Amino acid sequence: PHFFPDLISIAERMATVKHKILVLSGKGGVGKSTFSAQLAFALAAMDFQVGLLDIDICGPSIPKMLGLEGQDVHQSNLGWSPVYIESNLGVMSIGFMLPNPDEAVIWRGPRKNGLIKQFLKDVYWGELDFLVVDAPPGTSDEHISIVQCLKATGIDGAIIVTTPQQVSLIDVRKEVSFCKTVGVKVLGVVENMSSLCQPLLDMKFLKTTEAGEQTDVTEWVGEYIREKAPELLNLITYSEVFDSSGGGAAKMCREMDVPFLGKVPLDPQLCKAAEEGRSCFGDQKCGVSASALKKIIEKL
Ligand code: ADP
């Protein structure tokens, strides 16, 4: 079957989408895609109808983070059909259309702009409560395109993801000022990888011998705790990995007059869930990061 995309406008497509949220970051590698993926999983678990659109054309990580690598997009008489994880969670990414995931996508602005427009016009999402858009880092062609295309249909706002370090926060300020310039509301800032958080028994313990060598005494420590202090077994450890002496994202939010949504710890189990394309919510071991994400979502 063929459909006639030119006859359908972005406004018509978006008319069935209640809320549109952009997820932005100043820098790459701060956990923006992880957050977008987990946000989509969480909203779907709350029984909302959710679409996740990945417009990071040069580095689409969403297919992997949702366990959808190698999937294809199909065309129906209604348009391109997203790839569904659950009946209420559909995903669209350029990653589904690349013949070889190792190949670099080297496109100039107009071509990226064209694809974003096409995504918005030709993908048949149906009725959605939320469309979560995972943007590339920074403020470049993709950001201008998505805002231009969606503005008339109403964007609820942007969530900006950062790590606590100054170098990341400096770029968040740019992101906030981009939002202000283009008239997109900042829903808030999430500080990701705030501190390292893991169960005591997941940690490795090293001992330095007199000869200056390090030996792994993890097993010995585990046995010692089980035997002598079993009440410590369920302890969770927190350690500050990054320097947040400057006050981190919370302080920056106060200064820039934007909401601070909360902190998500650096959690090896959350990383594992993302690597395996799973939601952290159903995972007991992701307890702390899952509850941090939940608190953030409640504030949105
Ligand atoms: P970005 O989209 O900002 O480039 P990603 O979401 O791709 O960043 O995250 C980069 C890496 O960091 C991924 O491997 C991801 O699993 C990991 N990661 C992100 N947030 C966390 C976290 N809170 N705890 C542990 N690992 C994380």
Q: Is residue 281 part of a domain?
A: yes
Task: Look at residue 42 in the predicted model and tell me its pLDDT.
Answer: 96
Predicted confidence pLDDT, tens digits, the chain (300 residues) = 445 555 578 999 999 999 999 999 999 999 999 999 999 999 999 999 999 999 998 888 999 999 999 898 988 888 999 999 999 999 999 899 887 877 788 888 888 889 999 999 999 999 999 999 999 999 989 999 999 999 889 999 999 999 998 888 999 999 999 999 999 999 999 999 999 999 998 999 999 999 999 999 999 999 999 999 999 998 999 998 887 788 899 999 999 999 999 999 999 999 999 999 999 998 888 888 999 999 999 998
Please say whether the dihedral angle defined by the alpha carbons of residues 226, 230, 236 and 239, taken in this order, is positive or negative: negative
* Residue among 242, 264, 271 to mutate when testing ligand 1 (max atoms within 8 A of CB): 271
Q: Is residue 35 part of a domain?
A: yes
Q: What separation in angstroms does the CA of 6 have from each of 23, 81, 98, 177, 225?
A: 28, 17, 24, 34, 67
Q: Ligand 1 centroid to 29 CA: how many Å?
A: 6
Centre of ligand 1 from the C-alpha of residue 193, in Å = 8
| Ligand 1 centroid from CA 84, angstroms | 23
37's CB contacts (< 8 A; 6+ apart) are 52, 62, 65, 66, 134, 274
For residues 132 and 36, is the Cβ–Cβ distance under 8 A? yes
Buried b (16+ CB within 10 A) or exposed e, 236-265: eeeeebbebeeebbbebbeebebebbbbbb
**Residue having the nearest C-alpha atom to atom 12 of ligand 1:** 31
CA-closest residue to ligand 1 atom 23: 266
Q: Supply the pLDDT for residue 7.
A: 59
Structure tokens at 293: 């994400």
Residue 208 resides in a domain: no
**pLDDT value at position 6?**
55
Q: Which atom of ligand 1 is nearest to the CA of 192?
A: 23
Residue 93 lies in a domain: yes
Nearest CA to ligand 1 atom 27: 271
- Domain span at residue 143 reads 5-196+237-299
176 lies in a domain? yes
Q: For residue 183, what are the CA distances in angstroms to 12, 33, 158, 162, 174?
A: 22, 23, 11, 21, 14
User: What's 272's domain CATH number?
Assistant: 3.40.50.300
Neighbouring residues of 98: CB distance < 8 A, sequence distance ≥ 6: 60, 105
Task: Confirm whether 285 is domain-assigned.
Answer: yes
> Ligand 1 centre from 267 Cα, in Å?
10
> What is the pLDDT at residue 85?
95
Atom of ligand 1 nearest to the CA of 265: 23
pLDDT computed for residue 1 by the predictor: 42
**Ligand 1 binding pocket, CB closer than 6 Å:** 25, 28-34, 61, 192-193, 264, 266-267, 270-271, 274-275, 289
Neighbours of 166 (CB within 10 A): 16
* Ligand 1 centroid – CA 121 distance (Å): 30
Look up the ipTM and state it. Answer: 0.99
155-189 confidence digits (pLDDT tens): 999 999 999 988 889 999 999 999 999 999 999 99
Helix boundaries (H) for 46-140: 62-65, 109-122
Name the closest-CA residue to atom 14, ligand 1: 271
Atom 4 in ligand 1: residue holding the nearest Cα: 29
On whether residue 225 sits in a domain, the answer given is no
Would residue 224 count as lying in a domain? no
Number of domains comprising the chain: 1
